[in-house]
Amino acid sequence: MSSKEEESAVKVLAIDPLVILKYWVLRLSQGKTDDFFPDILIVAGLKKTPPLSSGADALQPGEWGVDVVETQSAESFLMAMGWEEKTAGKTIEDVFKVERRKG
């Protein structure tokens, strides 16, 4: 990921699909042209490993981890996080991606 890219991500542990749709509609309704509108990615994976901490808000096995990312380049972001490698061989029951790219 380039140091010039500006990303903002919101982690959501237990997410209602309506939250994603409301976010999407809000961002698209802001009337920005593609030149000024970032790529938006929603990437999610089903947790299958033990929690990383003992905190009450730690993602538990069986819960979905969801990231909403705004970036100047979805392709660069996905390459930097190793999306293809991380999702190889996984099904829609384990992982998914929704994207809105410029142009």
Joined tokens for residue 93 = 């029951």
Confidence of residue 27 (pLDDT cuts 50, 70, 90): confident
* pLDDT over 80 (residue 23): no
Looking at residue 50, its pLDDT comes to: 93
* pLDDT over 60 (residue 5): no
What's this model's pTM, rounded to 2 decimal places? Answer: 0.65
Residues 6+ apart with CB under 8 A from 51: 58, 59, 60, 61
The 8-12 sheet, strands edge to edge? 8-12, 64-71, 39-46, 95-100
* Closest-CA residue to 13 (of 58, 69, 61, 70): 58
* pLDDT over 60 (residue 10): no
**CB-based contact 1:7 (threshold 8 Å):** yes
Joined tokens for residue 21 = 């749709």
Looking at residue 30, its pLDDT comes to: 76
Looking at residue 28, its pLDDT comes to: 73
